[in-house]
Amino acid sequence: MSKADKIKNFDPNSIGDTNNNIYGLPFSTDEADVVVIPVPWEVTVSYSSGTAKGPQAIYNASYQVDLYDPYIKDAWKIGIAMEPVSKKLRSKSNVLRKKAEKYIAMYEAGNDPSSNKAMKLIRSEINKACRSMNEWVKEKALQYIDNKKIVALLGGDHSTPLGLMQALAERHSSFAILQIDAHADLRDAYEGFEFSHASIMFNAIKIPQVSKLVQVGIRDYCEAEAKLEKTSNGRIKTFYDRDIKTRQYEGASWADICTDIINELPQKIYLSFDIDGLDPKLCPHTGTPVAGGFEFEQVLFLFQKIIESGKQIIAFDINEVTPGRDEWDANVGARLLYRIAGLAAKSSH
């Protein structure tokens, strides 16, 4: 059956059909405009774990999402499809996570990884495995990009999208990263791990094609990260959560602040969304929650204004969703994924 036939025969008002793909949609990755690559990886998380369960939890929760979007007509017809979650990658992450926990415990006890043989071996193994994971993501992403798909990566922790950024750099001469996050993630090899979740943007700005990093909502960061932003000659622009709220308390509208953010962005944008950029009530189980953050519709309003400005979201990621005993975090993640996918597709047409 062709995509057109599937659209003709699909009832978007019915319950989510679990025999179909994500959201109960009937499309394959060949037919969908937006393809989701799940990356169940959380080897270097430095606080609470559980993000490796995020992709499957979001997939499961997606069947409860209503498909009507008043902003995008027939949004479901765009087509979203998700690859199966890799059991092999998840298993490897679990094994290495245990080794990382042992390493971190020794690090916190005051041991020096440069002189401790056991720590040195673990660090080397994990850095090698993370590099391999990045290559795996890059190869998958390139296949879909070359088939004119919008790629959405679903983590896992925030280390997972580096390979997607590298893939985009091979197909785009220049683009900016728009980062929604509680943390700056500009640490150099945090805890000794080159590809730490806390080092994703430090690694991203090594990519020459990344012309600018615009960070929004940052509220937990160290002095070295603040200094890196200040000395970046404008390549890194950070809209700190405290500054955003201060402006609002003094009378500025969120729409005005969004205009300032948009003015910092070029035509092509890669969106990197750490779920802890939201108020923790929306993601209570995420690995490193921080007081403050955005409301759900508030941050989507920013993305909508970006699209209305004529700029393009060329790809995106959502990460650090950690499911609890209920479906709350995954429920929020599933709705966020659906809304951003529609906006990204709209920006490309």
Cut 0.85: pTM above it: yes
CA distance 154 to 134: 14
pLDDT at 326: 85
Inform me whether the pLDDT recorded for 49 exceeds 90: no
pLDDT confidence tier of residue 233, bands split at 50, 70 and 90:
very high
What confidence tens digit (pLDDT) does each residue in 98-135 have? 999 999 999 999 999 889 999 999 999 999 999 999 99
Q: Is the peptide bond before 156 cis (omega within 30 degrees of 0)?
A: yes
Query: Which residue from 191, 26, 171 is spatially nearest to 122, judged by alpha carbons?
Result: 191
pLDDT at 349: 82
Length in residues, the chain = 349
> Mean pLDDT across the chain, nearest whole number?
96
pLDDT at 179: 98
* CB within 8 Å of 322: residues ≥ 6 apart: 48, 49, 50, 51, 53, 54, 283, 285, 286, 287, 329
pLDDT at 47: 73
What confidence tens digit (pLDDT) does each residue in 162-175 have? 999 999 999 999 99
pLDDT at 221: 97
pLDDT confidence tier of residue 46, bands split at 50, 70 and 90:
confident
Q: Which domain holds residue 14?
A: 3-347
- CA distances to 34, 114, 132, 170, 243 from 139, in Å: 17, 32, 11, 11, 39
Burial-class residue 24 by CB neighbours within 10 Å (0-12, 13-18, 19+): buried
What confidence tens digit (pLDDT) does each residue in 297-329 have? 999 999 999 999 999 999 999 999 999 888 899
CA distance 37 to 224: 33
pLDDT confidence tier of residue 1, bands split at 50, 70 and 90:
confident
Rounded CA Rg of the chain: 20
Burial 114-126 (b: 16+ CB within 10 A, else e): eeeeebeebbeeb
* Number of domains the chain is built from: 1
- The average pLDDT across 286-296 equals 95
Helices (H), the chain: 3-9, 54-61, 87-108, 117-145, 162-169, 200-204, 223-230, 241-249, 254-263, 296-308, 328-347
Residues paired with residue 315 on neighbouring β-strands, in sequence order:
151, 270
pLDDT at 303: 98
CA distance 71 to 315: 20
- Whether residue 209 contacts residue 175, with contact meaning beta carbons closer than 8 Å, is answered with yes
The CATH number given to whatever domain includes residue 342 is: 3.40.800.10
